Every structure is written in structure tokens, then in C-alpha cells.
Structure 1
Amino acid sequence: MNVFADAIAWLLDPAQYTGTNTVPFLIGQQLYYTFISVAIAAVIALPIGWAIGHTGRGREFAVAISGAARAIPSFGLLILLILLLGVTRKTEAAFVTFVVLAIPPLLAGAYSGLQAIDRRTIDAARAVGMTEWQILWRVEVPLGLPLLVGGLRSAVLQVVATVTIAGYTDLGGLGFRIIQGIDLRAIDQVLGAALVLALLALLLDALLALVQRWSAPRGIRAASAGPERRRPVAATA
């Protein structure tokens, strides 16, 4: 308990909020690396995932690429890229590492969201004269949005946790405080920064969970809520 008390005392110390490398500044760096990396990964992964989900072709290739990307150790990839690109390109190496980490869940969420749609819905859209482009944007993407947001949720959580390794290369983020605390043997600093990181991840997860819940089309939400609302009446009867 004393260790946690020391960590809380470290977080409440006004010195952590004045000067350089303050806790709010490092949180901002953590979010900056996360959001930029996930945005770049989305630009790459979403068109490919939607194309696979719409056409039904290339799923095996996407699964293989995603599996290979998940198997790559992030820290090893970061160090390798720094060695290849040079120490002056540490920021670029970090972004490439985080983008590679974010692509698999986004890709899986994009194509699985489209493939989970009942084929009869797609056939009905074609029957009323919709073009393939209209089917994709007006039918498939809205219906597949919850699974896509689930992939986004997974990508954000993985990246925001992995951005911590940027501290090893002096790129900032909360990992800077953790690595510094390890070098100084300051357990209160290490635990305090880790607690902030955990709370940040939980907050992002909660926000994206709400987005995922409300990303489903209104008709689907009403249909899923209907049986739950009627259940007490049926039980009473």
C-alpha cells in the first residue's frame, strides 16, 4: 500500500505540472502518437477491408497479412527501423511501427463488418436498382459500422499502450517517465506514470465503447432494444 500511496503522492506533486515534460504534456504526446498513427492506418486499411468485404475476394490474403503483422514484436521493429533509417528519423520509425500495429484490427473490423451482413439484404438492394457503389456506402458501411468501430477500439488500445516504448528512444510520452523512473529506481514515478497510462486507456476504451454502441443504425438499435423492453411484460403475464 505504501508504494501506491507514494505513486499517488508523486501524481499530486505540483512539480509534475510545472516546467518541462509535465504529466499533461506527456499525455498529450501519448495521444498525439496514438491518433496520428491510427488515422494513417485507417487510410490504408479501411479501403482494403471494404473492398475485401464487398467483393468477397482476398480474405485469406488479408488474414495472412494481419496475422503476420500481429506477430511482429513492436519494440524490435522500432529498433530495426531506427537502425535502417538513422537516429535522425526516430519519429518516422515510431510512426511506422505504430501504424503497422494498428492496421490488423482495423482491417479485420472493416471486412468482417461487411461480411457479417445478411446476403439477402444485399440482394434486396440490388433488386431495387442500387449500384455497387450505392450498396457499399448506403447499405454495407452503415450496417458494418459497429464491427468497424470495434476494430478501431482495439487498434487505439493497442497503440496507446505500445506508444510507451517511444520512451526508450527519447520521443516522449508517458513512457519517458517510466523509463526515467526505472533508471533512477524511482518506483513511485514508474507506478504513477503507469497508473496514468492505465486510466488513459480505460477512458479511451469507455468512449469508444459508447461510440460502438451508438454506431449501429437506429432501426437495428430499436429492434434489439424491443425484446428487452417487452421481457418484463411477458414475465409478468
Structure 2
Amino acid sequence: MVMLQSAGTYSSYHCSQVYNITPFQPLAHGDTLVSPSSIFELGFFSPNGSASKYVGIWHKNIFPRKVVWVANREKPIAVTSSLASLRISSNGSLELVDGKQNSLWSTDVTSEVSSSNTSLVAALLLDSGNFIVKDDAEADRVVWQSFDYPGDTMLPTQRVQYNAKSKKGTILTAWKSESDPSAGIYTVEGRRAKEVPAQVIIWINRSTPFWRSGPWDKSKFIGVPDMDDRYLSGFTGEEDVEKGTQYFS
């Protein structure tokens, strides 16, 4: 697991565990969604006893627990709201609503879901830590996944991507503080610098370089002198010059 910043500890309240979210079974405050082998868990939490509440993912059996992904990091729920829920909305999107049914966060996948079969949409947490929304109407087609919208953490098999043609990529963003998961000043992304192979850069406020990995030489980052076998086991980088894409995982 690669973390841009420690996410801090949290408190949560567990009532029951579920294995999917459907239009007929929302995730209520106090319940948790677990992956098939109980490796990861998703639920409501308050970081470091703050007055705000979020929906996040953490390793189920690793203590002290650290949150690796947050849905509503910019729109917290008041800690006093006990009627919040994560549900499949009528248009097939996964939606977080507070106690007054105000929408705080949504996957907004209306155009990706078969409009006549929204009852077949389900959200699941995989053993990889990837939180997905799938449309069973089209052979379990994944219409949204949290791996495409990382927070401050990159998990095994998850990709940090960059497209040189569109100049868009996957970005990791630090928490503002251990009790506030909203976007902090540090970000990390894969980037192709002029006339050198792809590399990873940490930025301050998306504008000032703070750290560079050095170019990827197809086995390691040359700017990380102690990148030995402990890093190379499972760490990969691929690049498609024609498409202008590159990713690290």
C-alpha cells in the first residue's frame, strides 16, 4: 500500500455487515460493507473524533486502522446525523444522502446504466479494495470504480495513469490534516517531462514541484537510489508512446 499522507485513526459504529448495496438494500449509518474475504471494509467514520462524518474504506483486520479511500471528502456529514445512507438512486447512480435526504456525493453514472434495468445495479467492495458499481443487465459490466478516483492512497493493482495527449491523469491528493480528509496541498501524479521518460512528481498546490522520482528505466526510478528488490516485487510501469499513455501500479 502506498500512502501520500497518513489518514489518521477514526471511530465508527458497527451494527451489521452486508456484502452489496442494491436499490432494495442501502447501506445505513452503522452498517458496513465488507469484501468477499473480509479483507476490506466500507462504512461511516469520524476521523480522530472530529465533528464530521464520512464514508470510507479501510483494511478490516489491520490495526490501528487507516482509511485508504473517502467518498465525500469535500462534503462531510454532521456527526449528529444518524439517518444518512449510501444507496442506489432511481437513475442507477450510487448516492450518499444525509438525514434530510440531501445528496452529498454521487457516482453520476446515469448515462452508463441501462435505463430500464436500474433495479439490477449493485455496488460491491472487492478484495483488492476497489469499490465498484456494476450493471447486471449487461453481464456484470462495471460502470464505475473507486480505483479511478483515488484519495491519498494507492493500493496494489491500482494504477496511477497519465495521458500526454489529453494532459489528464490519475492524481493522489493528501488529506488536509489527520482529522480532515478534504484535499490538502500535496498531490502526486505520473507525468512525462520534456525529452525524458515518464516519472512521478509530487506537487505543492498543483504548481510547484516538491519531489521527483527521476525517469522510469523500465525497472526502477533512477532518482530513488534505494529502490531495491523490496520495491521491485510487484511494482510495474508501462507506456504506450503511440497513444500517449503511461501508468504505474
Q: Structure 1 or 2: larger strand share? A: 2
Q: TM-score, normalised by structure 2?
A: 0.23
Q: TM-score, normalised by structure 1?
A: 0.24
Q: Structure 1 or 2: larger helix share? A: 1
